[in-house]
Amino acid sequence: MRRPNCGGEQEKVVTDLPFKVGPASIVILKKLPVIQRRNCSEYSIEDGVMEKVDTLLKKIDRKAELEILTYAA
């Protein structure tokens, strides 16, 4: 599948991504499946994966500065 703006091929990859969940709180999700574009390095997250991410982020302690979680499919 090609991206219309950059023309880059898209591929499913697994990566680690940070999510800012409060003024001083960051959660890093490890082993997160995303769709990455080769030319511009932009990524997107499929709806089902994002629903699970939202559920995970709702459960974290927002008082902690940094939390690291592993995404489990």
Q: Between the CA of residue 41 and those of 3, 38, 58, 71, what are the distances in Å?
A: 11, 6, 28, 21
Beta-carbon count within 10 A of 32 CB: 22
Per DSSP bridges, beta strands 10-22 and 25-37 are antiparallel
Residue 72 confidence (pLDDT): 85
pLDDT tens per residue, the chain (73 residues)? 554 566 678 899 999 999 999 899 999 999 999 999 888 878 999 999 999 999 999 988 888 899 999 998 7
* Cβ within 8 Å of residue 45, ≥6 positions away: 32, 34, 35, 53
Residue 2 confidence (pLDDT): 52
